Amino acid sequence: MSEPILVVRDLRACVNGKPILKGVDLTVYPGQVHAIMGPNGSGKSTLAQVLAGHEIYEVTGGEAIYCGKNLLEMKPEERAREGVFLAFQYPVEIPGLNNMEFLRAALNAIRKHRGLEEIDAFDFLNLVQERARRLGISEELLNRSLNVGFSGGEKKRNEILQLSILEPRLAILDETDSGLDIDALKAVAEGVNTMRSPERAFIVVTHYQRLLNYVVPDVVHIMYDGRIVQSGGKELAEELERRGYSWLEETVGSAR
Amino acid sequence: MKSSTTVQVPELVAKLGEGPDWLAERRQAAFERFRALGFPTTRDEAWRYTNVSPIARTHFRSAEPDWARAVSLLERAWVGESAVRLVLVDGRYVESLSRMPQQSGVRAMSLQRAIEQNPELVRAELARLAVFDNHAFTAWNTACFADGAVVIVEPGRVLDGAVHILHLSTGGSEPVVSHPRVLVLAGRQSQFAVVEEYLGPDGQVYLANAVTEIVCADGAVVEHYKLEREAQQAYHVAAIWARLGRDSQFTSHLVGLGSALSRHDVVVILAGPGSEAVLNGLYLVDGQRHADYQTLLHHVAPHCQSREDYKGILAGAGTGVFNGKIRVEPAAQKTDAIQHNKNLLLSREATINTKPQLEIYADDVRCTHGATVGQLEEEQLFYLQSRGMSAEEAKAALVVAFAGEVVERFRLAPLRAAVKGYIGEVARTL
Ligand SMILES: Nc1ncnc2c1ncn2[C@@H]1O[C@H](COP(=O)(O)OP(=O)(O)OP(=O)(O)O)[C@@H](O)[C@H]1O
Ligand SMILES: [Mg+2]
């Protein structure tokens, strides 16, 4: 197999002095889709945010190596420019920041880092309109302030739009499927599937098996109390769906 | 205690005899008032947070144009789809740099010329609205203005493109002062926009002491834009007065980005029933700069509406003052007034003094106000950084976004992008 895109070893992190991640191990190879499931508050979003570089989380131990580089030493924008993308569980609203202008600024920041010229305004417009159409995002939404007045589903689709324009190597999707109706879910899944490639990897955080019917994972992990307690194939997600998280609590609890 | 005004006397005396008798009389009265008032001090309630002693202490000379500087400033000015461009250099109209209206129904000219060509009209309106009884700077301007701009739009005219009045200060080897004067007369049911832009060369110490009077006849729809883009070392003091006739609509967009010390007094008199006023403002101070905005919405007639929204960005050790007064006279029943002032503090050293002031003498009115002071949100910064923008770019983007709401209210679309650009330029240095 080729070199891993991401290697996380014994990663520990605190927020306000309270330990949240208590030793996470995870290795992701190019071309793979990893799903991370687990009960509320188990630390899934924390892991995603730590990988994206949010400074509110203090890393207290372990390491994260991205394409051979120490990810934890990089600023959030460096990670993004190097190809790490996080689709937020709760995308932030920024009144006054035009959605499309922002996306262009982001794309140009990344292109500049890759030694490419700024994208032509006309080409950009064509690109965004084509991708937006496929995701069922209206022109009007593109011209609004970032996420302001968007429904939950529109926010998630907008995250996937950014993903498809910014073309990262490692995409982390934090509950992008939550709160979506079936049409939105299919649009999002299709957006992800068209992005799947041998060079790119996905980490998909989800509560539900439902998304995994459309975006079929290579590996499924279960996170519990700040650790990955079980990993397996896509059957693991099905089992979890059938038996519920209480089953997990019993197994993990008794193993301690 | 009154400050000495003796240093200005030679300049004053030189102007007093100029023009027709009625003007000489008004200048004389203004001169006497200025002498009696002296410069305000921080003991004056209206000047509590703004110390003008740097201005009072300075020996200003009358500005003499530096043409090379004027020409290079022109390159920085807004180039929009204006119908008319009047260029004033150090307060004096310069024909060779200006562009006259091609449309009928609008007259735009220097104040000097207006006094010659339309003496009755100018006499009836000039220095009527902008009372100087208790405002020393307005008195000083009235006594001393060398020239100015006059815009007269005939009843029923709807202008294509804005009237752009560009005020260039060129500075000098010693501190200089100019007194730009603008008079706008909007005929019944006329509709147009005036863009006043103030620019000066960086590094120069000068004072622009401006007075603008806008008279909206019944049903007129007037948008006044003011872009204060003075040099960072300059002083800028300005009064903007508007009187609104029946069912007229007046909007003041005020964007203050420059000056070491600036002070604006914006007074709107809702004199005709059914009139509507919008005050839309944005100020940005950084370094050691100081900006003071005093607005008065004076509801005189019934069934009038006013909407005010001022936003402030305060960085470095910058200081800002916002005082928003709404005065509702007993006759002004059914007044509907809303005022907001929202401030973004970008550093611990920056300060804002914000105060609403409601004086309501009518009982059947709706007046609400609110002021907030906040900081940049970490979550927003992180989101932008997670998309590849540097911390500085993210901050600048959020500052421009904060200002965005004010800019989006511009009806002149070409000015929106330009002003966002000006704000962005400053925001990247914060
Ligand atoms: N910024 C924060 N401040 C305080 N506590 C936090 C913060 N972020 C996370 N936590 C705490 O850390 C724990 C893990 O939260 P996290 O959001 O990572 O869980 P999650 O697995 O993503 O949950 P969910 O399934 O509900 O999204 C929770 O107890 C949460 O309250
Ligand atoms: Mg979560």
pLDDT computed for residue B83 by the predictor: 85
Question: A23, exposed or middle or buried, with CB in 10 Å at 0-12, 13-18, 19+?
Answer: middle
* pLDDT tens column, B60-93: 998 889 999 999 999 999 988 788 999 999 999 9
Query: What's the gap in Å between A43 CA and the centre of ligand 1?
Result: 6
User: Is the CB of residue A103 less than 8 Å from the CB of residue A161?
Assistant: yes
Chain B neighbors of A86, CB-CB under 8 A:
386
The ligand 1 atom nearest the CA atom of A38 = 21
How much helix, strand and coil, in percent to the nearest 5, is found in chain A?
Answer: 45, 30, 30
Pairing of strands B319-328, A69-70: unpaired
Residue A24 in contact with ligand 1 by CB distance below 6 A: no
The answer to whether B401 contacts A91, with C-beta atoms less than 8 Å apart, is no
Chain B neighbors of A145, CB-CB under 8 A:
401, 404
| Residue bearing tokens 């929204």 | B309
Query: What's the gap in Å between B362 CA and the centre of ligand 1?
Result: 53
| Residues near ion ligand 2 (Cβ under 5 Å) | A 44-45, 89
Output the residue whose Cα is nearest ligand 1's atom 16: A43
Q: Which two tokens stand for residue B50?
A: 């703004």
pLDDT computed for residue B14 by the predictor: 57
Residue A181 DSSP label: -
Stated as kind and residue range, the H or E segment containing A70 is strand A69-70
pLDDT computed for residue B5 by the predictor: 41
Query: What's the gap in Å between A51 CA and the centre of ligand 1?
Result: 15
The answer to whether A121 faces chain B, any CB pair under 8 Å, is no
pLDDT tens for chain B, 430 residues: list them: 344 344 444 455 556 556 788 999 999 999 999 999 999 999 999 999 999 999 999 999 988 899 999 999 999 999 887 889 999 999 999 999 999 888 899 999 999 999 999 899 999 999 999 999 999 999 999 999 999 999 999 999 999 999 999 999 999 999 999 999 999 999 999 999 999 999 999 999 999 999 999 999 999 999 999 999 999 999 999 999 999 999 999 999 999 999 999 999 999 999 999 999 999 999 999 999 999 999 999 999 999 999 999 999 999 999 999 999 999 999 999 999 999 999 999 999 999 999 999 999 999 999 999 999 999 999 999 999 999 999 999 999 999 999 998 999 999 999 999 999 999 999 988 8
The ligand 1 atom nearest the CA atom of A205 = 22
So what's the ipTM on this one? 0.96
Stated as kind and residue range, the H or E segment containing A28 is strand A18-28
| Residue bearing tokens 């403002």 | B281
User: Is the CB of residue B227 less than 8 Å from the CB of residue B256?
Assistant: no
Query: What's the gap in Å between A43 CA and the centre of ligand 2?
Result: 7
The answer to whether A129 faces chain B, any CB pair under 8 Å, is no
The answer to whether B386 contacts A79, with C-beta atoms less than 8 Å apart, is yes
Task: Report d(CA B430, CA B428) in Å as an integer.
Answer: 6
Output the residue whose Cα is nearest ligand 1's atom 10: A15
Nearest chain B residue to A48, by CA:
B386
What is the phi-psi region of residue A137: left when phi exceeds 0, alpha when psi lies from -120 to 50, beta otherwise? beta
Q: How close is the nearest chain A Cα to the Cα of B387, in Å?
A: 6
Contacts of residue B142, Cβ cutoff 8 Å, sequence gap at least 6: B26, B27, B30, B127, B130, B132, B211
CB atoms within 10 A of CB B372: 11
Nearest chain A residue to B376, by CA:
A94
Task: Report d(CA B305, CA B255) in Å as an integer.
Answer: 22
| Residue bearing tokens 């509320």 | A40
The answer to whether B379 faces chain A, any CB pair under 8 Å, is yes
Partner residue facing B380 (CB), from A80, A85, A92? A92
Residue A120 DSSP label: P
Partner residue facing A92 (CB), from B383, B402, B403? B383
Q: How close is the nearest chain B Cα to the Cα of A49, in Å?
A: 10
Residue A226 in contact with ligand 1 by CB distance below 6 A: no
Of B381, B314, B310, nearest in space to B344 by CA:
B314
The answer to whether A55 faces chain B, any CB pair under 8 Å, is yes
Residue A41 in contact with ligand 1 by CB distance below 6 A: yes
- Determine phi and psi for A124, rounding to 5 degrees: -60, -45
Question: How far from chain centre, in Å, is Cα A165?
Answer: 15
Residue A56 in contact with ligand 1 by CB distance below 6 A: yes
- The per-residue DSSP string of B287-321 comes to TT-EEEEEEEEEE-SSS-EEEEEEEEEE-TT-EEE
Starting at the earlier edge strand, list the strands of the sheet with A84-87: A84-87, A170-174, A201-205, A33-37, A219-224, A227-232
User: Is the CB of residue A23 less than 8 Å from the CB of residue A62?
Assistant: yes
CB contact residues (below 8 A), chain B span 394-423, against chain A: 394, 397-398, 400-405, 408
Q: Which residues pair with B211 in a beta bridge?
A: B181, B239
B interface test, pick of A51, A57, A77, A173 with most B CB neighbours within 10 Å: A77
**In terms of DSSP H, where are the helices of B126-231?**
136-144
Size of interface A-B (CB pairs under 8 A): 80
CA angle (A15, A17, A18) in 5-degree steps: 70
Sign of CA dihedral B166, B172, B177, B178: negative
The answer to whether B387 contacts A166, with C-beta atoms less than 8 Å apart, is yes
Sign of CA dihedral B75, B80, B84, B90: negative
Task: Report d(CA B234, CA B236) in Å as an integer.
Answer: 6
CA distances from A206 to A156, A221, B201 (A): 13, 10, 58
pLDDT at residue A241 is higher than 90 = no
Stated as kind and residue range, the H or E segment containing B85 is strand B82-89
pLDDT computed for residue B27 by the predictor: 92
Residue A254 in contact with ligand 1 by CB distance below 6 A: no
Where along chain B do its domains lie? Answer: 2-272, 376-430
* pLDDT tens column, B285-322: 999 999 999 999 999 999 999 999 999 999 999 999 99
Task: Report d(CA A232, CA B53) in Å as an integer.
Answer: 76
Q: Which two tokens stand for residue A168?
A: 């990262």
What is the phi-psi region of residue A87: left when phi exceeds 0, alpha when psi lies from -120 to 50, beta otherwise? beta
Query: What's the gap in Å between A95 CA and the centre of ligand 1?
Result: 26
Sign of CA dihedral B119, B123, B124, B125: positive
Output the residue whose Cα is nearest ligand 1's atom 13: A41
pLDDT at residue A163 is higher than 90 = yes
Query: What's the gap in Å between A175 CA and the centre of ligand 2?
Result: 7
Chain A neighbors of B404, CB-CB under 8 A:
95-98, 145
Partner residue facing A86 (CB), from B386, B391, B400? B386
The answer to whether A92 contacts B393, with C-beta atoms less than 8 Å apart, is no
CB atoms within 10 A of CB B29: 16
Give the pLDDT mean for A63-83: 97
